[in-house]
């Protein structure tokens, strides 16, 4: 019988910052009921990770995919990545710029969606409309759109559907992987391409997505906390109201 969901935490080659280490420690605590697997480059130094968990499971991929976030995005556009974890139904990709507030992971896996991620940080007025999504964005429009996904590092996906899309859209996926000028190419691909002409992924509305994850700098406490916050960095964590409410030991 398959596992329902596995948490994937990528570790880039660059040194983990104090904020990322804080996020890592929190993730290991709040998601401890689920299998957690670290993905890293071959021969990666994971000593900082082992300071927070003596026994860790690691899956290695070629080192080049962990040189930067841009390179990691290439890995997330390969069917082989998702196939590597085909013993479970869902993956929660949890980069070290996101903070899970409360354990609702089982709930979200059961909502019938194939892909859930916070939308682009761009103002609604600058986001491409439905007709533009169908006709296709220009290279410059894609670059602007992709810039709105900086540090947006948390998504839940159904493995079978992700591999199905990548295998049916090999040429577009290949083009996105090799577009060095497109920031956050993986996020742009998953937002625009799977449902462009025909729906291949079941995605929630923006209202539902806001209950799953929100940008930390945009979050306003209206009585209902989302599952997670994203877009967190050492430069902004002290300015995000949510973190001002946490005890110093958190």
CATH label of the domain that carries residue 183:
3.90.550.10
N-to-C CA span, the chain = 36
Cross-strand pairs, 38? 9, 58
Cross-strand pairs, 41? 61
Domain annotation covers residue 59: yes
Residue 236 burial (10 A CB sphere; 0-12, 13-18, 19+): middle
Domain annotation covers residue 144: yes
Is 186 in contact with 176 (CB distance < 8 Å)?
A: yes
Is 57 in contact with 36 (CB distance < 8 Å)?
A: yes
Is the pTM above the cut of 0.85? yes
How does pLDDT run along the chain (250 residues), one tens digit per residue?
789 999 999 999 988 999 999 999 999 999 999 999 999 999 999 999 999 988 999 999 999 999 999 999 999 999 999 999 999 999 999 999 999 999 999 999 999 999 999 998 876 545 666 666 666 788 998 999 999 999 999 999 999 999 999 999 999 999 999 999 999 999 999 999 999 878 899 999 999 999 999 999 988 766 789 999 999 999 999 999 899 877 654 5
Structural domain boundaries enclosing 144: 3-244
Q: Considering its fold, how many domains does the chain have in total?
A: 1
CB-based contacts of 219, cutoff 8 Å, min separation 6: 226, 229, 240, 241, 242
């Amino acid at each position: 019988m398959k596992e329902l969901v596995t948490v994937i935490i990528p570790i880039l080659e660059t040194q983990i910052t104090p904020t990322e280490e804080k996020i890592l420690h929190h993730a290991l605590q709040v998601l401890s009921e689920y299998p957690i697997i670290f993905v890293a480059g071959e021969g990666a130094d994971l000593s900082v990770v082992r300071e927070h968990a003596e026994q860790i499971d690691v899956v290695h991929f070629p080192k080049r995919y962990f040189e930067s976030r841009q390179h990691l995005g290439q890995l997330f556009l390969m069917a082989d990545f998702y196939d590597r974890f085909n013993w479970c139904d869902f993956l929660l990709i949890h980069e070290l710029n996101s903070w899970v507030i409360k354990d609702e992971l089982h709930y979200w896996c059961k909502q019938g969606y194939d892909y859930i991620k916070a939308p682009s940080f761009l103002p609604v007025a600058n986001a491409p409309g439905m007709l533009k999504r169908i006709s296709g964005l220009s290279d410059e429009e894609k670059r602007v759109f992709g810039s709105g996904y900086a540090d947006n590092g948390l998504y839940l996906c159904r493995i079978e559907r992700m591999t199905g899309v990548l295998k049916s859209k090999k040429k577009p996926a290949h083009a996105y992987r090799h577009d060095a000028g497109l920031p956050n190419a993986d996020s742009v691909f998953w937002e625009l391409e799977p449902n462009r002409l025909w729906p291949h992924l079941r995605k929630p509305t923006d209202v539902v997505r806001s209950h799953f994850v929100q940008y930390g700098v945009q979050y306003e406490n209206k009585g209902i906390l989302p599952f997670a916050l994203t877009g967190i960095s050492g430069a902004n964590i002290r300015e995000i109201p949510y973190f001002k409410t946490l005890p110093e030991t958190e």
